[in-house]
Structure 1
Amino acid sequence: MSTTTQTAYLYKHAHPFLPRTIKAASGIWLTLENGQKILDATGGAAVTAIGHGDLRVKEAIIAQLDKVAYCHPGFYQTDIAQDLATFLVSTTHGRMARALLTGSGSEAVEAAMKLARQYFLEQSPPQKSRHHFIARQGSWHGCTIATLAMGDFKVRKAIFEPILPENVSRVSACNSYRGMREGETTEAYVARLAQELDDEFQRIGPDNVCAFIAEPISGSPLGCMPSVPGYFTAVKAICDRYGALLIFDEVMVGMGRTGTLHAWEQEDVVPDIQVIGKALGAGYIPISAVLANERVISAFKNGSKYFVHGQTYQSHPAACAAALQVQRIVQSDGLLDNVRNMGMYLEQSLRGRLAKHPHVGNIRGRGLFWGIEFVANKGTKAPLDPSLKVADRIHQKGMSEGYDIAIFQATGSAEGGWNGDHILLAPPYIVTKSDVDEITDRVCRVVEDVFTELQERGDIREVDSRVESRKTM
């Protein structure tokens, strides 16, 4: 690669930045330009559900390219888009009615917001006042302006606050590690969170609330935090009481990542609108989707019959072909069973090695989606000083030779999203028991060695409450 090409490229770094160059990928392994082999324990960002280089997907894409590579979705339809939509709706067993096929997760969440808003305008008479969304603290819903406003990932959002829409408010996340009070039962915790949500409806005005949006299991900012039993049942009851919609953002946790095709299947609650992404196409071509139930679709059928939305690359034929083939592979290869079985084994392995580590505060997740939160003090749950960049240190050491493992690093799991270090593990659904052993061994070695180095230098310290390092961004 030429120096000119390297400096012409912009992802995040404006200064000359030479990221590791991948030359090949197969299964759960990445091969870099220097020959180093990296174990992909995160699937990128929980994307590569069936691993890298599956020839069946490649063949499906080529077959579609031989027919038509692109057509405008407003002028034409394709069989492959119809087939994918039919497949997705069928997997909900009648609980969802239509599928809108989009590009990225952020696009899908934004389309879901528009769908929810227009739903109320299609009522007779139109409910024009319903424009407000209620979201949760520590959420992540995308990087467009509207989806940034919906989310609460402080380090990615803070500098853009002046240009964000103001029709979003927030309630507490269901964070059993940091949110439950000492001696509080699960039932009491759910009741308290439900009351907080109900109070927010009342504060905003129930007739002004369009929808409540949540990730069934939190993503990057909180690190794979599942809800406690009964939480979403209580949430849905409140939304129904006030006539608002419930939106599930399953971009990161849907399509099998947590052990069922749809994460809501484990919550005993069906949302009105569901957003899916990453594992839908498993990274072979960008694709996402919005699913809506009959309640939502009926409003359009009985109203204008027209959703005021459209993007150039919606229903992209090659992307649809890739996604449909990926989902057929998930079914034919029994990968959901593998996610559940290997997920339980990964949990046992991580807890067996790290649960007693003095700086591992919490290990949580579901299926093949696991987070590990680090603390300075296990008893008080005090987060580590952010200047130590512990999560980033773990990622960087993992990528170094001798460790050779990709670990997803993140922050924001403590003190309102301004502090807290954690890592995420989201390996492809094809992992075997020996793969899980290898992942566990490498992750544990990285964590243990990073903290040993910090301990030897005397660097482990809690957040200095006098310094608001991240809040001044």
Structure 2
Amino acid sequence: MTTIASQSAVFHRSLHSDPISVVGANGNYLHLSGGGKLLDATGGAAVSCLGHANKRVKDAIISQLDVVSYVHSATFGTDAAEKLAKALVESTGGEMSKAYIVSSGSEAMEAALKLARQHYLELSPPQPQRTKFIARHESYHGTTLGALSISGHKARRAPYEPMLLPNMSRVSACNAYRGMIENETEAGYVDRLAKELDDEFQRLGPETVCAFVAEPVVGAALGCVPAVRGYFQAVRAICNKYGALLILDEVMCGMGRTGTLHAWQSSLINVTPDIQTIGKGLGGGYAPVAGVLISRKVTDTLFAGTGGFSHGQTYQGHPVSCRAALEVLSIIQEEKLVQNVAAMGEKLEQLLKQLVLPLPHVGDVRGKGLFWGIEFVNDKTTKEPFDPKENVATNIHEKGLTDPHNITLYPGNGTVDGRVGDHILLAPAYNATAEVIELIVRKTAAVIEEYFRQGKD
């Protein structure tokens, strides 16, 4: 990376250095301006689910440009948007009834929060007192002010705390590695978390709560932490008890990433949300696209009320993005890539537990499908995290980018409490082979070993 002040006209994430210049990408590799290449083990932020330069998706985008590139959704519709929405609804087995297509996960979460509120305004009789949301600590739901307000990641919230919405509260995350106490069973852990959530409904006044919001597998904030069995059934029961909606954020963990097309379809989750957000793998990085899937309960309420959603965006249902996403979804289904994710996920889990978990300072590996996190600790026995000043996850990520490793590792911080703790994510393409999975794990182990052997320099 450049060490002098950036001369770029782009307002990059860092104003002190330029990012690495990528001049091409193909399959599992990124090609760099200096002539080298990187094994893309993360798909960016778990986005590039088909790898890079997929010809079918490129051709689909071009074909849509030949039809229409943009119309305003307040007046016009397109075949691309209709077909994508129909395919998404069908992929839920009819559990969800409508799809609302936007451009990013943060936009999807903003829409989901508004939709939950409007649902209660239009019920018969209306329930305008429902203005509050419950989410979880160490969660991340997006970067816009509404989405950040519902998020529990302290470090990401901190600069904007005075601007964030006050009607959001949080309960403990379902994190077996850090949350379960000694000799506690999973069933006992679920009961304890369920009581905490029930108590929070009671504290707020259950009649004032719109929804409980959660990620089925927590991505960037916790490092691919799946819930324990029975947790989401307990959550669903509490929401039903108090008449609140359940919003599942699958922007990072959904669309096949964890071994079922929708994470809630797995036997581990096994509940149906009232509202669901999707993104990242929806378009595979070929176009900016995300969405909200909406249950019949919510759409029926609006249909009987105003007949519309009091929200809209300029690029809502963008034809090119919809066409790209439709092709990505078609490829996933036709090539049985969700099944490959499940199979390769088992291999990834096996190799991570064999080659990475035993390494010094690796406290835990966890995940599902092709969505795995590695948490680093200063002491494996006490689970004591590193001082944030050491920048362990970021430094491991940067070491991975160098010779001879040449691999992308997605870093995360605040793993323990939103400020302290380090992890990296692995999120290979859905079409990864056993050979690619083994290469990723061996390279990852080598990076970690070298980093700690050299004293975290």
- Residues 344-384 of structure 1: CA deviation (Å, up to 9, x unaligned): 10111111112222311100000000000011111111001
Q: Check if 1:256 corresponds to 2:256.
A: yes
Specify the alignment match of 1:320 in structure 2: 322
* Equivalences, count: 452
Specify the alignment match of 1:368 in structure 2: 370
Specify the alignment match of 1:130 in structure 2: 130
Q: Check if 1:297 corresponds to 2:331.
A: no
Specify the alignment match of 2:193 in structure 1: 193
Counterparts of 2:5 and 2:341, CA distance in 1: 43
Counterparts of 1:204 and 1:391, CA distance in 2: 37
For 1:351, which of 338, 353, 359 is the aligned residue? 353
Equivalent residue letter for 1:295: K
| Alpha carbons 2:78, 2:319 under 8 Å: kept | yes
Q: Check if 1:53 corresponds to 2:61.
A: no
Specify the alignment match of 1:466 in structure 2: none
Equivalent residue letter for 1:123: L
Counterparts of 1:7 and 1:354, CA distance in 2: 38
Counterparts of 1:454 and 1:137, CA distance in 2: 32
Cα drift, residue 18 of structure 1:
1.7
What is the SS of the residue equivalent to 2:226?
Answer: coil
What is the SS of the residue equivalent to 2:375?
Answer: strand
Counterparts of 2:28 and 2:437, CA distance in 1: 11
What is the SS of the residue equivalent to 1:193?
Answer: helix
**Structure 1 residue ranges, 4+ long, deviating more than 3 angstroms after superposition:** 3-6
Any residues of structure 2 matched to 1:101-180 within 5 Å, and which? 101-180=101-180
- Residues 300-353 of structure 1: CA deviation (Å, up to 9, x unaligned): 111111110110000000000000000100111111111011111011111111
Cα drift, residue 125 of structure 1:
2.0
What is the SS of the residue equivalent to 1:419?
Answer: coil
Specify the alignment match of 2:12 in structure 1: 11
Specify the alignment match of 2:430 in structure 1: 429
Any residues of structure 2 matched to 1:200-349 within 5 Å, and which? 200-266=200-266, 267-349=269-351
What is the SS of the residue equivalent to 1:100?
Answer: strand
Counterparts of 2:71 and 2:387, CA distance in 1: 52
Specify the alignment match of 1:440 in structure 2: 441
Specify the alignment match of 2:91 in structure 1: 91
Specify the alignment match of 2:455 in structure 1: 454
What is the SS of the residue equivalent to 1:68?
Answer: coil
TM value normalised by structure 1: 0.94
Specify the alignment match of 2:79 in structure 1: 79
Equivalent residue letter for 1:326: V
Counterparts of 1:106 and 1:311, CA distance in 2: 13
- The answer to which of 151-160 and 139-148 deviates more is 151-160
Counterparts of 1:210 and 1:424, CA distance in 2: 32
| Alpha carbons 2:6, 2:18 under 8 Å: kept | no
Counterparts of 1:11 and 1:343, CA distance in 2: 34
Cα drift, residue 14 of structure 1:
2.7
Counterparts of 2:384 and 2:6, CA distance in 1: 44
Which blocks of at least 5 consecutive residues in structure 2 are unaligned? none
| Alpha carbons 2:6, 2:15 under 8 Å: kept | no
| Alpha carbons 2:258, 2:370 under 8 Å: kept | yes
Specify the alignment match of 1:32 in structure 2: 32
Counterparts of 1:5 and 1:231, CA distance in 2: 47
Cα drift, residue 238 of structure 1:
0.2
Counterparts of 1:294 and 1:227, CA distance in 2: 26
- The answer to which of 151-160 and 279-288 deviates more is 151-160
Counterparts of 1:201 and 1:83, CA distance in 2: 39
Counterparts of 1:269 and 1:11, CA distance in 2: 40
Equivalent residue letter for 1:255: M
- Residues 147-187 of structure 1: CA deviation (Å, up to 9, x unaligned): 11111222221010011111100000000000000000111
Counterparts of 1:129 and 1:264, CA distance in 2: 29
What is the SS of the residue equivalent to 2:83?
Answer: helix
What is the SS of the residue equivalent to 2:211?
Answer: strand
Cα drift, residue 57 of structure 1:
0.4
TM value normalised by structure 2: 0.97
Which blocks of at least 5 consecutive residues in structure 1 are unaligned? 458-473
- The answer to which of 309-318 and 328-337 deviates more is 328-337
Counterparts of 1:358 and 1:437, CA distance in 2: 20
Counterparts of 1:444 and 1:5, CA distance in 2: 33
Counterparts of 2:400 and 2:350, CA distance in 1: 21
Q: 1:5 to 1:173 in 2, by over 3 A?
A: closer
What is the SS of the residue equivalent to 1:8?
Answer: coil
Counterparts of 1:243 and 1:254, CA distance in 2: 26
Equivalent residue letter for 2:413: T
Counterparts of 2:296 and 2:18, CA distance in 1: 49
| Alpha carbons 1:36, 1:401 under 8 Å: kept | no
Counterparts of 1:309 and 1:194, CA distance in 2: 33
Counterparts of 2:239 and 2:152, CA distance in 1: 21
Counterparts of 1:232 and 1:262, CA distance in 2: 14
What is the SS of the residue equivalent to 1:306?
Answer: coil
Cα drift, residue 6 of structure 1:
4.3
What is the SS of the residue equivalent to 2:143?
Answer: coil
Counterparts of 2:340 and 2:265, CA distance in 1: 17
For 1:401, which of 403, 408, 419 is the aligned residue? 403
Specify the alignment match of 1:462 in structure 2: none
Q: Check if 1:384 corresponds to 2:382.
A: no
Specify the alignment match of 1:417 in structure 2: 418
What is the SS of the residue equivalent to 2:66?
Answer: helix
